[in-house]
Structure 1
Amino acid sequence: MLKFGQTTKQVGDSAEQAAEHFLQQQGLTTLKKNFRCKLGEVDLIMRHGSCLVFVEVRYRKQNYFGSGSETVTASKQQKLIRTAQYFLQKHDKNNIHPCRFDVVSISGDLNQPDIDWLENAFGM
């Protein structure tokens, strides 16, 4: 449940924390949270086996007008891809890993959220 007076950032942080916890339960390991650069931001960077996973988290209080994953537009995908490429150039120069982009869509009460995980939601 959103508490009165919570800012959008606080709600977003809570959704990202719920997504991270959920993905850790699925066997992923957190490498970096909220990676920012001049090109954009990636909410979570995780490892799933040998694969680097760039995760976009979307929260919708209600899904009346579509899920959070439906809000990841082609332009948002391109921004995420460019940001991931920047991350790889700066932090993963010598280690070539397979990569994928996942979207975690969260809706409802953040204390007991409905979570939809789309693995490999889009590609480069």
Structure 2
Amino acid sequence: MSESRRLLGQRGEKLAESYLVNKGLRIVDRNVRTKRGEIDLIALDGTCMVFVEVRTRSSQMFGTAAESITWKKKQKLRELAIEYLHQASQPVPSFRFDVIAIFTGTSRGDEDLMKPVIEHYESAF
């Protein structure tokens, strides 16, 4: 992965985190990595645990950020979430999968050409 793509992804995750906190969710974990993959953000919305996939794009030439989440990626996130829940110290009454899709209009890590557009898909899959 190129440095500019990595920075774009990091910036998107920070934007997504701020957005969720402003909506009243509490972030409980970030970039949870296992041998099989990574969960970008884990938050609590009341008692509901929210597994968040963040996708950031600087161009829509190849489709939107939300459209880039394949069936295979959704399945992997489901598996990672089950693994995470099995390791939880307390029972989780409910959970869901959200997608935060961000379009920045630029791939530069410094000044943006436009204000980022954030789309939040609750219970996306």
Query: TM-score surpassing 0.5?
Result: yes
TM bucket normalised to smaller: 0.7 to 0.9
The alignment partner of 1:52 has SS state of strand
Tell me, in whole angstroms, the C-alpha distance in 2 between the residues paired with 1:14 and 1:96.
29
The CA RMSD measured in Å over matched residues stands at 1.7
Looking at structure 2, the residues matched to 37 and 97 of structure 1 have their Cα atoms a distance apart, in angstroms, of 23
Aligned to 1:87: 84
Moved over 3 A (4+): none
**Uncovered stretches (5+) of structure 2, i.e. residues with no partner:** 107-111
In structure 1, C-alpha distance between the alignment counterparts of 2:59 and 2:4, rounded to whole Å: 17
Structure 1 runs not aligned, ≥5 long? none
Equivalent in the alignment of 1:119: 122
Match of 2:65 among 49, 63, 68: 68
Deviation at 1:40, TM superposition (A): 1.1
Letter in 2 for 1:108: T
Q: TM-score, normalised by structure 1?
A: 0.86
Q: Percent identity?
A: 38
2:32 maps to which residue?
Answer: 35
TM norm structure 2? 0.86
Counterpart check, 1:99 vs 2:102? no
Query: What is the CA distance between 1:109 and its match in structure 2?
Result: 4.6
